[in-house]
Chain A
Amino acid sequence: MTTQGRAVPQKAARPSFGKRYWPLLLLAAPLLWLGVLYLGSLLGLLGYSFYGVDDFTGQVVPQFTLSTFRQLVSTPSNIDVIARTTLMAAAVTLACAVIAFPLALYVARLTDPRKKALWVLLITLPLWASYLVRVYAWRLILAQEGVISWAAAKLHLTGVLDGLLSLPVIGGTSLANSYFGMFLVFVYVWLPYMILPIQAALERVPTSVTQASADLGARPAQTFWRITLPLALPGVAAGSIFTFSLTLGDYIIPGVVGAPGYFIGQMVYTQQGAAGNLPLAAAFSIVPIVIVGLYLAFVRRLGAFDAL
């Protein structure tokens, strides 16, 4: 074969059509799935949010308008829904991160391989059971006649529980009817999604790196704050995207546990169903996407992905 001068197209030098496109063919099904079903529906949703609804007939008017978004941000109750959901998602994410980090560190660093497998099993075990079953189980646990009230009474801690429930905003008539109860259920349900990415990030940090830190004179606490935590931040960021966006979009838990007051997921559900205002439902579902986008930009600026 000649390699000098102008390249002459040769049959043998070029892989056949089948060889070249075979990988693409293999990817066709997942690409179609992602491209058409997922991105397509997302773009369709985005498009719908720029339509309006005829006030008289209740029909969707397929014409570009910003009136739906105007309605979304100018109605105080809608702003309340967005603020309530975002605050809950932030609180749940923070609590998950604080609870998950020590557990993930323990599993990643301090156990032997056999115990590690057991721990990972235990962490993911709740995911085996139906989400609905677990949420309703929590409703029973948190109810006025539930296990927690009963245990508090036996331990003579009813006063503490009542004090907690009498707090403004997070309190309520019972744990099952309070934002605090809802917060507990959210934290419980999404915790595995925070632990696993943090654990994976910590596993990727070579032990020699933390040993080098100690070798250079850093006390264990210094090694944690300067080396371990920064290197695990991508995992925390990944986990927080799960917990944050899952809370933003959930519409079951706020309906089963917690104080009255709509969450974004419920608004989407109601608007596209009973209210029949598909454009407003679409506009509401854009909100979590925008918030998660802003959140990603924020953690990126914090340097969460520097270690990647």
Chain B
Amino acid sequence: MASPPSAPDLQPQTGPPAVAPAVALDNLTCVFGKVRAVDGVTLNIAQGEFYSLLGPSGSGKTTCLRVIGGFEAASSGSVRLFGQDAARLAAYDRPVNTVFQDYALFPHMSVLDNVAYALTVRGVGKAERLKKAGAMLELVKLGELGSRRPAQLSGGQRQRVALARALVNAPKLLLLDEPLGALDLKLREAMQTELRAIQQTLGITFVYVTHDQGEAMSMSDRVAVFRAGKIEQEGSPRELYGHPRTAFVADFVGGANVLGAVLVGQSSGTYALRPEQISLTPDPGAPMRGRVTGLHYLGATTRVEVQVGGQTVHASVPSGDVLHLKINDQTALNWNPADLRRLEDA
């Protein structure tokens, strides 16, 4: 194709112009016996993206990941990795590495040999593979533990070894199956920051499975919320939080009150309202009043449960605002009508 004269800086293009997505699932379905673990999932993950599959246990997110990794076969639908049909590719032929939920370290090998494994099986020379594995251990800050056995490490250290082992061969795509699930809260938060930093340093695509919405929100470019084998909603963390489409997403991502139209003074529909968007300041013109049934002090904020017309509404307010409140007190509930989000379902 000749380039138009008006745009002389454009190069003539013959191939497909766009970069192929790292992962493209098209109507993927996995049936185990009578269970449809994954039920018609379609998604595209761009190269270099940090993409999370978020959902409760049994929602199909891990099965999806296992199909991408090559450990599970699809019943129908297609999987393309970097534009290539992956249906016939065995796990060992995919440009993909995985960090397993239980880490799956090789117990009979040293930490360094674990990390070097991908290079060993490809026949990389000893000097080179030990150098690369050592560098990878440095990246995850375990440089001095190379001679230990996995059994001699703490949970957090094993997690880092699993990460280094999966990264040593410079995969284009890294799959992570709830990799931080077994760690305590502090360590988990530190690792979240670190994982995101490593992903951005190396510029590779991460597909991250988690049931922890906070984890998905804080790290991801985009999130797919899974429910019963289907994607309920896909989008950036801001979109999911700011514009949940269904009651499930509203509640699962960030927590929300799902309120009927009458309760919130609308003509029809169901609405989501975040607990932190409700204030309890005394106001005679408040749209709603109720009886306090629960007070949960969380430090900076207090979570208040208010009984309104047979429904419990949760409000999250600055602790200083509700020092006077006691159980069974009457209180006003205020919100900005612009914060109400109309839901598509129910």
Contacts and interface: CB of A to CB of B under 8 A. Distances in A.
A23 B166 CA distance: 48
Given A215-B69, A215-B98, A208 B104 contact: yes
A227 B117 CA distance: 11
Contact of B118 (A206, A211, A216): A216
Interface string B101-114: 11011111000000
Contact of B100 (A212, A218, A222): A212
Contacts of B69: 211, 215
Interface string B272-298: 000000000000000000000000000
Contacts of A217: 92, 118, 121-122, 169
A14 interface: no
Contacts of A209: 104-107
B91 A231 contact: no
A80 interface: no
B97 A227 contact: no
Given A215-B91, A216-B169, A217-B169, A226 B121 contact: yes
Contacts of B346: none
B165 interface: yes
Interface residues of A, number: 20
A206 B104 contact: yes
B107 A307 contact: yes
A215 B97 contact: yes
B100 A211 contact: yes
B55 to A, nearest CB: 21
Does more than half of chain A's interface fall in helix, strand or loop, or is it mixed?
Answer: helix
B107 A219 contact: no
Contacts of B108: 230-231, 303, 306-307
Interface centre among B90, B102, B104 (most CB of A within 10 A): B104
A214 interface: yes
Contacts of B105: 209, 212
B92 A211 contact: no
Contacts of B104: 206, 208-209, 211-212
Contacts of B118: 216-217
| Consensus secondary structure, chain B interface | loop
A200 to B, nearest CB: 16
Contact of B90 (A214, A227, A230, A307): A214
Contact of A214 (B92, B120, B122): B92
A213 interface: yes
Contacts of B117: 213, 216, 218, 226
Interface string A151-188: 00000000000000000000000000000000000000
Interface string B191-207: 00000000000000000
Interface in B117-132: 117-118, 120-122
B107 A222 contact: no
A99 to B, nearest CB: 24
Contacts of B97: 215-216
A305 to B, nearest CB: 10
B92 A218 contact: yes
Contacts of A216: 92, 97, 117-118, 121, 165-166, 169
Contact of B91 (A211, A230, A303, A307): A211
Contacts of A303: 108
Nearest to B121: A218
B96 interface: yes
Q: Which of B98, B105, B107 has the most CB of A within 10 A?
A: B107
A297 B71 CA distance: 39
Interface in B63-118: 69-71, 90-92, 96-98, 100-102, 104-108, 117-118
A244 to B, nearest CB: 23
A291 B246 CA distance: 72
Nearest to A233: B108
Contacts of B98: 211-212, 215
B195 to A, nearest CB: 18
B38 to A, nearest CB: 18
Interface string A214-240: 111111001000110011000000000
Interface of A: 206, 208-209, 211-219, 222, 226-227, 230-231, 303, 306-307
Given A214-B71, A214-B92, A217-B122, 14 more contacts: A206-B104, A208-B102, A209-B105, A212-B105, A212-B165, A216-B121, A216-B165, A216-B166, A217-B118, A217-B121, A219-B92, A226-B121, A227-B106, A307-B108
Give me the 4 closest cross-chain CB pairs, A-B, nearest first. A208-B104, A212-B104, A216-B118, A214-B91
6 contacts: A209-B104, A209-B105, A213-B121, A215-B166, A219-B92, A227-B106
